Amino acid sequence: MECFRIDESGYTGFDLLNAEQRFQGAAAIAITDQDAARLYSEHFPKLQAPELKYRALSRRPANHPRLLSLQRDLLTHYRCVTYACDKRFLLVLMFADYAVEPFYYERGLDFYENGQNYAMASLLSVAGPTLLGQPAFCSRLSSTQSKTRRRRL
Protein backbone atom coordinates (compact mmCIF):
# COMPACT_ATOMS: atom_id res chain seq x y z
CA MET A 1 0.00 0.00 0.00
CA GLU A 2 1.26 3.47 -0.91
CA CYS A 3 1.97 5.62 2.13
CA PHE A 4 1.76 9.42 2.10
CA ARG A 5 3.63 11.66 4.52
CA ILE A 6 1.75 14.85 5.38
CA ASP A 7 2.87 18.11 6.95
CA GLU A 8 1.13 21.42 7.52
CA SER A 9 1.97 24.96 8.43
CA GLY A 10 -0.14 27.84 9.71
CA TYR A 11 -2.75 25.84 11.62
CA THR A 12 -4.57 28.02 14.15
CA GLY A 13 -7.51 25.75 14.97
CA PHE A 14 -10.85 27.53 14.82
CA ASP A 15 -9.20 30.96 14.68
CA LEU A 16 -9.46 31.64 10.96
CA LEU A 17 -9.09 35.40 11.56
CA ASN A 18 -5.64 35.13 13.13
CA ALA A 19 -3.74 38.11 11.68
CA GLU A 20 -0.33 36.50 12.18
CA GLN A 21 -1.24 33.29 10.32
CA ARG A 22 -3.56 34.30 7.48
CA PHE A 23 -2.64 31.32 5.32
CA GLN A 24 -2.46 27.61 6.00
CA GLY A 25 -0.49 25.23 3.87
CA ALA A 26 -0.28 21.47 3.68
CA ALA A 27 1.79 19.09 1.62
CA ALA A 28 1.65 15.35 1.07
CA ILE A 29 4.17 13.08 -0.62
CA ALA A 30 4.22 9.36 -1.37
CA ILE A 31 7.69 8.25 -0.29
CA THR A 32 9.09 5.25 1.55
CA ASP A 33 11.20 5.57 4.69
CA GLN A 34 14.15 4.16 2.75
CA ASP A 35 13.85 6.72 -0.07
CA ALA A 36 13.45 9.56 2.44
CA ALA A 37 16.58 8.46 4.33
CA ARG A 38 18.53 8.13 1.07
CA LEU A 39 17.53 11.61 -0.12
CA TYR A 40 18.29 13.07 3.30
CA SER A 41 21.83 11.66 3.25
CA GLU A 42 22.40 12.57 -0.42
CA HIS A 43 21.37 16.19 -0.07
CA PHE A 44 22.47 16.84 3.52
CA PRO A 45 25.27 14.34 4.21
CA LYS A 46 26.74 16.24 7.20
CA LEU A 47 23.45 17.04 8.93
CA GLN A 48 22.86 15.16 12.21
CA ALA A 49 19.30 16.34 13.00
CA PRO A 50 16.60 13.62 13.16
CA GLU A 51 14.49 15.45 10.57
CA LEU A 52 14.79 18.33 8.13
CA LYS A 53 13.33 21.64 9.24
CA TYR A 54 12.99 24.14 6.39
CA ARG A 55 13.09 27.22 8.61
CA ALA A 56 16.40 26.19 10.17
CA LEU A 57 17.94 25.03 6.87
CA SER A 58 16.85 28.09 4.88
CA ARG A 59 18.62 30.48 7.23
CA ARG A 60 22.00 29.40 5.89
CA PRO A 61 22.66 30.46 2.27
CA ALA A 62 24.91 27.41 1.82
CA ASN A 63 21.82 25.20 2.17
CA HIS A 64 19.79 26.95 -0.55
CA PRO A 65 21.18 24.89 -3.48
CA ARG A 66 20.69 21.69 -1.46
CA LEU A 67 17.08 22.58 -0.67
CA LEU A 68 16.34 23.37 -4.31
CA SER A 69 18.00 20.15 -5.44
CA LEU A 70 16.01 18.11 -2.91
CA GLN A 71 12.80 19.81 -4.01
CA ARG A 72 13.61 19.07 -7.66
CA ASP A 73 14.17 15.38 -6.86
CA LEU A 74 10.96 15.13 -4.87
CA LEU A 75 8.81 16.88 -7.47
CA THR A 76 10.32 14.87 -10.32
CA HIS A 77 10.29 11.37 -8.85
CA TYR A 78 7.47 11.22 -6.27
CA ARG A 79 3.74 11.80 -6.21
CA CYS A 80 3.07 14.91 -4.17
CA VAL A 81 0.62 17.73 -3.72
CA THR A 82 0.72 21.10 -2.00
CA TYR A 83 -2.29 23.06 -0.82
CA ALA A 84 -2.43 26.68 0.33
CA CYS A 85 -5.52 28.28 1.83
CA ASP A 86 -6.42 31.87 2.62
CA LYS A 87 -8.27 31.34 5.89
CA ARG A 88 -10.37 34.50 5.49
CA PHE A 89 -11.59 33.22 2.13
CA LEU A 90 -12.39 29.89 3.78
CA LEU A 91 -14.48 31.75 6.34
CA VAL A 92 -16.39 33.59 3.59
CA LEU A 93 -16.92 30.22 1.88
CA MET A 94 -18.30 28.83 5.16
CA PHE A 95 -20.61 31.86 5.44
CA ALA A 96 -21.94 31.09 1.96
CA ASP A 97 -22.48 27.44 2.95
CA TYR A 98 -24.55 28.39 6.00
CA ALA A 99 -26.30 31.53 4.78
CA VAL A 100 -26.77 31.09 1.03
CA GLU A 101 -26.90 27.34 0.33
CA PRO A 102 -30.24 26.84 2.17
CA PHE A 103 -31.83 29.48 -0.11
CA TYR A 104 -30.68 27.51 -3.17
CA TYR A 105 -31.71 24.17 -1.64
CA GLU A 106 -35.27 25.36 -0.91
CA ARG A 107 -35.63 26.18 -4.60
CA GLY A 108 -34.23 22.86 -5.82
CA LEU A 109 -30.95 24.42 -7.03
CA ASP A 110 -27.46 23.04 -6.50
CA PHE A 111 -25.36 25.81 -4.96
CA TYR A 112 -22.16 23.81 -5.56
CA GLU A 113 -22.76 23.07 -9.25
CA ASN A 114 -20.03 24.50 -11.48
CA GLY A 115 -18.29 26.08 -8.49
CA GLN A 116 -21.01 28.64 -7.83
CA ASN A 117 -20.14 28.58 -4.12
CA TYR A 118 -16.53 29.53 -4.91
CA ALA A 119 -17.64 32.26 -7.30
CA MET A 120 -19.95 33.75 -4.69
CA ALA A 121 -17.33 33.55 -1.94
CA SER A 122 -14.81 35.20 -4.24
CA LEU A 123 -17.24 38.01 -5.05
CA LEU A 124 -18.13 38.46 -1.37
CA SER A 125 -14.45 38.54 -0.38
CA VAL A 126 -13.76 41.39 -2.79
CA ALA A 127 -17.03 43.33 -2.74
CA GLY A 128 -18.15 42.64 0.85
CA PRO A 129 -15.92 45.20 2.57
CA THR A 130 -17.02 47.87 0.09
CA LEU A 131 -20.73 47.04 0.19
CA LEU A 132 -21.03 46.51 3.94
CA GLY A 133 -18.12 48.64 5.09
CA GLN A 134 -14.96 47.12 6.51
CA PRO A 135 -16.13 47.05 10.17
CA ALA A 136 -19.46 45.38 9.32
CA PHE A 137 -17.77 42.85 7.01
CA CYS A 138 -15.21 41.95 9.69
CA SER A 139 -18.01 41.65 12.23
CA ARG A 140 -19.86 39.25 9.91
CA LEU A 141 -16.72 37.12 9.53
CA SER A 142 -16.19 37.08 13.29
CA SER A 143 -19.81 36.10 13.87
CA THR A 144 -19.56 33.34 11.27
CA GLN A 145 -16.43 32.01 12.93
CA SER A 146 -18.12 31.95 16.36
CA LYS A 147 -21.26 30.24 15.06
CA THR A 148 -19.41 27.58 13.07
CA ARG A 149 -17.20 26.82 16.05
CA ARG A 150 -20.19 26.34 18.37
CA ARG A 151 -21.86 24.17 15.74
CA ARG A 152 -18.81 21.86 15.56
CA LEU A 153 -18.09 21.54 19.28
What pLDDT is recorded for position 39?
Answer: 94
28-64 pLDDT, tens per residue? 999 999 999 999 999 999 888 888 888 899 999 999 9
Burial, 121: exposed, middle or buried (Cβ in 10 Å; 0-12, 13-18, 19+)? buried
- Domain map (residue ranges) of the chain: 4-85, 88-152
What pLDDT is recorded for position 152?
Answer: 57
Contact 42, 105 (CB under 8 A): no
